[in-house]
Amino acid sequence: MLLASLCFAVMGGFVKILSSTLPSVEITFFRNLFGVIIIGIIIYKIPLSQKGGRPWLLFFRGFMGFISLLAYFYVMANIPLGVATTYNKTSPLFVALFAYLFLQEKLQKYAIFALLIGFLGIVFVAKPEGFGLSKYDILGILSGIGAALAYTSIRELRHYYDTRAIVLSFMLVGSIGPLILMVIAELFSPTWLDFALSTFVMPQGVEWLYLCGVGLFATISQYLMTKAYSLTKAGIVGAVSYSNIIFATAIGIFLGDPIPDIWTFLGIILVILAGLLVSKKEKPQKGN
């Protein structure tokens, strides 16, 4: 999981570099296209074994995963990498909340406490002026919410679909969605929707190598994470996964991000602490 977190942070570094010349929606397209090819080859070698029956929920998982990734890639280009990663890592908090709201899972008192300190951490990271959040803060939080909705839907989908089909749903929507958005952007592209509507820019020279880096490190990270969850307790793996924030912060500073101030640092600590508490809550459920 430590290696998976490092690979995911390295992927973020490539995304940040590419974002200076390529739109985030296009980077999202290439990242998912790489995954579709790999998962497609694996399914071709070993056919799917599943009963199916929930196509709309499968699409919902793919769509929310796509929205989360699109928002995540956009904010990485505009705010420090460590902060963007912290927003994305709020997903376990929202998973706990959505599981309570939609799946009738119990929410223990310490889990409620975890949610409170986690959301306080978000406030410290965002540092809103008055009652307003910046566009980047809102999209950063959206990346966490989208990931949480995608993860929550997996709890139901795993009873109907092969894991590879669930992953492929995300990759396919994440490949087709950007194509549609880039076509729309040729006709209609308001500034406030620049995170989703941008015209295609042909990558040049070393940018192709960086795009391959995004796809390669994302795929390696996904594999290592899956392997980690299969080898030990989910609570332990979930705790180690927060090293992603540390790696992302270090890589971001190397690429020119400012060193986090005391309030941002405190907010990151609170989000990590909240995530660890929620992971402890999830541990007995995983064993059932």
When pLDDT is averaged across residues 10-21 and rounded to a whole number, the result is 93
> Other C-beta atoms within 10 Å of 93: how many?
26
When pLDDT is averaged across residues 12-17 and rounded to a whole number, the result is 94
CA distance 258 to 50: 48
Q: Which of 36-40, 61-65, 84-88, 238-242 has the least mean pLDDT?
A: 238-242
pLDDT at res. 284: 42
Q: Say what the pTM is.
A: 0.86
Show the tokens assigned to 273: 């602490």
CA angle 238, 239, 245 (to 5 degrees): 100
Q: Please tell me which residue, 143 or 156, carries the higher pLDDT value.
A: 143
pLDDT at res. 287: 39
pLDDT at res. 179: 94
pLDDT at res. 52: 79
Helices 2-18, 55-78: inter-axial angle, 10-degree rounding: 60
Residue owning tokens 């705010």: 79
- Does pLDDT of 286 surpass 50? no
CA-CA-CA-CA torsion sign (178, 28, 124, 116)? positive
Kindly state the DSSP code that residue 46 receives in the 8-state scheme: S
CA distance 22 to 138: 22
Q: What percentage of the chain reaches a pLDDT higher than 70?
A: 93
Q: Please tell me which residue, 33 or 129, carries the higher pLDDT value.
A: 33
Torsion of CA 172, 179, 34, 93, to 10 degrees: -60
Residue type present at position 114: A
How many CA within 13 A on the CB side of residue 242? 22
Q: Which of 174, 140, 145, 162 is nearest to 29 (CA)?
A: 174
How would you class 287 by CB atoms within 10 Å of its CB: exposed for 0-12, middle for 13-18, buried for 19 or more? exposed
Q: Which pLDDT band holds residue 182 (cuts at 50, 70, 90)? A: very high
Show the tokens assigned to 3: 């290696």
Paired with 155 in beta bridges are none
Q: What percentage of the chain reaches a pLDDT higher than 90?
A: 34
3-state helix, strand, coil in the chain (%, to 5): 75, 0, 25
Residue-wise pLDDT for 100-130, tens only, equals: 887 777 777 778 888 899 889 888 888 776 6
Cα–Cα distances in angstroms (integers) from residue 282 to residues 2, 178, 272, 285, 287, in the given order? 20, 34, 15, 5, 9
pLDDT at res. 251: 94
